[in-house]
Amino acid sequence: MSAPSVLDHLQSHDAVHMAERVDKIIAAIAVLERNPLIGRPSRNDKRKLVIGRGPQQDDVALYPDVDSIETVFVQAISALRKAAFWR
């Protein structure tokens, strides 16, 4: 069984502004492609990137800090208020 997509997850939780949130997530991942060190350092050699600005900071992406290769592996995306890995 495969993991649900971000859109599936948002739909199952009746999230508001789904299209805008997905667009923000895609744009943030595009930024990571060019600037993988933009996220804040986190525990266990990982980084976290808050997605959105001001009160619209809805989500956070967690990814390993692998500076030696030109690839970003996003491991998790979560609502900022519910991100267990944020704490």
Whether 15 is covered by a domain: the verdict is yes
The residue segments making up the domain with residue 36 are 6-86
Total domain count for the chain?
A: 1
- Contact (Cβ atoms closer than 8 angstroms) between residue 41 and residue 47: yes
Q: What is the CATH number of the domain that holds 44?
A: 3.30.2310
Alpha-carbon distance of 19 to 21, in angstroms, equals: 5
**pLDDT tens readout for residues 5-46:** 767 767 776 666 778 888 888 898 898 888 888 889 988 888
Global confidence as pTM: 0.68
Tokens encoding 8: 């599936």
Alpha-carbon distance of 35 to 31, in angstroms, equals: 6
**Confidence at 54, pLDDT banded by 50, 70, 90:** low
Whether 28 is covered by a domain: the verdict is yes
